[in-house]
Structure formats: structure tokens, C-alpha cells
Amino acid sequence: MAIEKMSLVNIAGLMDELDATLKRCCESGCFHIEPAGNSPDSAMKPLSEKNEYDRPLKELAQLSAQLGITLKETDFTDCDLSASQDFNSLFEKYNTPFSELNTKRLELTQRISELGGAVRQIDHLKGMHSDFQQLFSMKYVSVRIGKLPVDNLPKLDYYDENFFFVPFETGKSFCWGMYFVPERDKQRVDDIFHSMYFERIRIPSYVSGDADEALEKLKQTIDADTVENAKINEQINELAAKAEPELQKAFSKLRFIHDTFDLRRNAAALNDKFYLKGFIPEKEKDRFGKLFEDMRSVSVVYLPPDADASCEPPTVLKNNFLTRPFTMLVEMYGLPEYKGYNPTAFVAITYTLLFGIMFGDLGQGLLIVLGGLALKKKLGAKISGLVTRLGISSMIFGTLYGSFFGYEELLDPVFENIGLDFLPLKVFKQTNFILITAVAIGVALIVISMILNIYIGFKNKDYEKSHFRL
């Protein structure tokens, strides 16, 4: 358990092979790229290009979302698309029919909503046998339809104005109806009704006939539009099912190409040549070099990790099967320096030990283990492995404590039968034992940390750290 030894890699070649080089660097899975043009005295300057795949990537993602397609990582080895124009053509292939269907769907949805609002308004006017179009076409008389608070209904008798109010439906709070007023007096009468909180209902111009006839026509139109809207939704679903396999592969490949193109910003160029630099694990040198053997202009040079003072080697922790899940805890608080010490084993031992000491219970520990195994698919192998190891520690200490789901005496007969007189440990009945043990563990951890600090200081020849920064 140490820190992976790294090698600095310099890659140079003709600009024509830059994209292919970056692609193979990504496919290697071990190349950590560094900005190549950050040296002020270098003649090669970093590339500053706009990513031509930005727009196609956003368009395909937006189209997929509109079609209800959840994008995920997909194998795209059999996808022939490569240029941005190819992805634009694919977008148009499915976006054109979808836009036409979606426009119709939006129009129908809006009309259904408007018709529904008209139905709710006219429903309160049942019993009115006058034609709406005739009412609103009168030349010298204006008609206002709406609702008035019930408490204000008697107040209308106190106004000596040229209007009369016709009620149609009276509820607990409102009275729906209409008032007629001469054209010359409508402004003054409108102000009166407004002061009494009259809420006007505007009847759509397409409504004809009396209230009952209008309602019937509107409901028939809503039913027809709803059926048509359902057909359009079905057509969109069929289009989505047809497009999903192709869009999944195309989007996965496009994102790979897009991210690879973004890496060009880390490359430096001079005339028709490019230059890349980065780090790879030392053990990967042979495999990494073979990736570029068939590329005529590309050369790969390996250097020591400290050969370039402008960049710091990345820290890659090397851990075994037992301690690997605890890597996430170390990364959470920050990785050590490249020449530092890998603390994963120390964290794994202390964390597991202290968890078992504090939460020792055979039954509860078993549940933690089973929970970690059950959540492996959902949470991933790292978290599952961490939880499982902590559960095992809890079971071990729970056995030593004789605790099973909080019952401290349940395991006593077991230890008596096998002749272990010193078990279980009744720590909660021995206050001095708990205090002394806690202090001893704390002292041990501090001493071990100091010894590790001294070791790292001597290893890196940093004697100030080893002697004075404990």
C-alpha cells in the first residue's frame, strides 16, 4: 500500500493526428493530461479553439429530453457519425417531425384549456336562453356577464342608475348573472359594479347559442380535441421509441468526441506540429506506448516525474482488496502529496477498530453487513465494501461484549459452555476500564501519527518536518 509511481510523458506529432492521439490517450484510461503551453519561454502556444460539438451536444440532449428519453452511457462502436454535420443531420431527422407534432399538440392543449375555461364560465349561466352573439351585438346597450359577492347583491337597489341586473345562479359566496346598461352610461355603471367587486367573465367570441347549447358545443369540441391530442401523443411516443437506440449511441459518441475535443485546449502547437504532456503510472509505459506504434508522426518520450517543474505529478493511491473501500474517506479530506505517505491502511485499521468499539453489537452488525451487500448495486462496490467491513467489526466487538440487539446477557451461556471465563467484556460495568482504554487508544494514535510524520520527513529529506513539525 503506497502511492503509485508516475512517469512524465511527452507526446509530439503532426496536427493532422492530434485528434486521433487525444482519442487514444482517453482510451488508455491512465493518461493524466497537463496544460502543455504554460511555459512562458516556450515557442509553442496553447490551442484556443471553439468546440464545434457544443451546439450538437446541447441539441441532442434537449431533443432527447423532449421525447422523454433518459440518456445513459451506451456502446457506440457501431456508430458511424463523426463530424458535427453528421450529428446535425441526425438532429434534423427527428427534430423536424417532432416539432410538427409538438406544435399541433401545444395548439390543441391551449385550445382545450381555453374551451375548458369557457365551460366553467358558462356553466354558471345555465337557464339563460338568450343567444350570446345577439347579446353582444346590440348597438345601444352593453352587456356585462360575471359574478358579484352575495353580500353586495342587496346594495344594487340603492343606486338610481340606468341598469338592471339579472341573476342566474346564487351560491354561498357569489351570485352569477349579467347586467344591461345603455352605451352612454356604461362607464359610470361599470365603476359602480367594480367598487362592489364584480368580477367580469369574458365569453369567447366563438361561443354561440344560449348557455345550454353553448355548453354542449364546447364539450363536443373538447372531446374531439382530446382524442386528437391523444393520437398526437401516441405518434410522439412511437417516434421516441424509434429514435431512442440511435440517439443513445449518437449522444454517447458525441459526448466522447466533445470531451476529447475539449482536451485540445491542453495541447500546444507550432506551425503544423502539436505537443502534449501528462502523467501515466510507471507500470503502464509499455501498454501506453503500443497505442501509438502505428501513428507515423507521433513520438512518445518518458521522463522522470519531476523533470518538468511547471507541473506536479498526480497522486494515485495504490491499495489492496481489504483497504480499497477506505480510499473514498482519504480522498474526502484530500490526497497526500506525490512523495508523501498513503494513509489508507492506517485509516482503514483505526476507523474499523473504533467503529467496532463504539457500536459493537452482534445482531446490529449483522444487519449492517447484510445492508451493505444488498446495496452493492445501488451504491457501488466502494460504499458497499466499506459498510460491510464496518459491520463485521461491529459483529466481532459485539461478540466480545456479549451484546445481541442490546441484550447484554444473551450470549453469557455460550461463553460459559466453551469455558471462556474472561468473556464477555462487561465494559459498561467497568468505568475505570473504559476511561483507561480510551486514553490508551488516543495516546497510541497520536504516537503512531508522530512516527509516520518523522518517517515521511526522513524519506523526503525534509528534516525540519521530521524534527519540528510533529
- The answer to whether the CB of 399 falls within 8 A of the CB of 364 is no
CATH 3.40.50.2300 fits 130-209, yes or no: no
**Poorest-confidence range of 191-195, 336-340, 439-443?**
336-340
Taking each helix axis from N to C end, the angle separating 54-66 and 84-122, rounded to the nearest 10 degrees, works out to 40
Looking at every residue in the chain, the average pLDDT score rounds to: 85
Q: Is 407 helix (H, G, I), strand (E, B) or coil?
A: strand
Please report, for the chain, the start and end positions of each structural domain, with discontinuous segments joined by +.
2-47+267-309, 49-121+211-261, 130-209, 318-429
pLDDT digits over 247-274, tens only?
999 999 999 888 888 888 888 888 889 9
18-23 long-range CB contacts below 8 Å, 24 or more apart?
18/264, 18/267, 18/274, 19/260, 19/261, 19/264, 20/295, 21/274, 21/276, 21/292, 21/295, 21/298, 22/260, 22/261, 22/263, 22/264, 22/267, 22/276, 23/260
Mean pLDDT of 113-120: 78
Per-residue model confidence (pLDDT) at position 408: 78
100 has pLDDT over 80: yes
Q: Report, as an integer, the average pLDDT of 127-133.
A: 67
Q: Give the highest mean pLDDT range of 118-127, 318-327, 333-342, 414-423.
A: 318-327
pLDDT of the residue at 1 = 60
More confident residue, 424 or 463: 424
Instruction: Please tell me the predicted confidence (pLDDT) of residue 138.
Output: 81
pTM: 0.61
CA 439, CA 331: separation in Å to the nearest integer? 28
Given pLDDT bands bounded at 50, 70 and 90, which one contains residue 342? confident
Give the Cβ contact number of residue 427 at 10 Å. 17
| pLDDT of amino acid 38 | 60
| Lowest model confidence (mean pLDDT) among 59-68, 71-80, 422-431 | 422-431
- The whole-number pLDDT of residue 265 equals 86
- Name the residue among 339, 337, 397, 340 with its Cα closest to residue 366: 397
Handedness of CA 251, 253, 255, 261 (dihedral sign): negative
What is the C-alpha separation between 414 and 402, in angstroms, rounded? 9
Fold of 2-47+267-309: Alpha-Beta Plaits (3.30.70)
- 302 vs 431, which has greater pLDDT? 302
Higher pLDDT, 115 or 365: 365
Cα 362 from Cα 392, distance rounded (Å): 9
pLDDT computed for residue 423 by the predictor:
72
pLDDT over 90 (residue 279): yes
pLDDT band at 299 (very low <50, low <70, confident <90, very high): very high
Q: DSSP code of 320?
A: -
Provide the pLDDT for residue 281: 93
Residues 316, 214: Cα–Cα separation, whole Å: 75
The C-alpha atoms of residue 431 and residue 421 are separated, in whole angstroms, by 20
The domain 49-121+211-261 having CATH identifier 3.40.50.300: the answer here is no
The distance of Cα 179 from the centroid of its chain, to the nearest Å, equals 56
Neighbours of 210 (CB within 10 A): 18
What is the pLDDT at residue 98? 93
pLDDT at 31: 92
Percentage above 70 pLDDT, the chain = 92
What's the confidence (pLDDT) of residue 382? 84
Tens of pLDDT, residue by residue over 136-183, are: 778 888 888 888 999 998 888 888 888 988 887 788 888 888 888 998
Confidence tier at 376 by pLDDT (50, 70, 90): confident
Distance (Å, whole) CA 379 – CA 390: 16
Q: Which has the closest alpha carbon to 411: 358, 361, 365, 352?
A: 361
179 vs 138, 160, 171, 194, 210, CA distance in Å?
A: 14, 14, 18, 13, 16
Residue 243 has pLDDT above 90, yes or no: yes
Question: What pLDDT shows up at residue 41?
Answer: 52
Q: For the chain, what is the radius of gyration of the CA atoms?
A: 39
Terminal-residue alpha carbon distance, the chain:
23
How far is residue 7's CA from residue 305's CA, in Å, rounded to a whole number?
5
- The residue among 37 and 190 whose pLDDT is bigger is 190
Query: 393, 431 in Cβ contact below 8 A?
Result: no
> Residue 112 has what pLDDT?
87
Q: Which three cell numbers stand for residue 205?
A: 367570441
As a whole number, mean pLDDT of residues 94-121 equals 87
pLDDT band at 239; cut points 50, 70, 90:
very high
Mapped onto helix, strand or coil, the DSSP state of residue 32 is: strand
3-state helix, strand, coil in the chain (%, to 5): 55, 15, 30
Same CATH fold assignment for domains 2-47+267-309 and 49-121+211-261: no
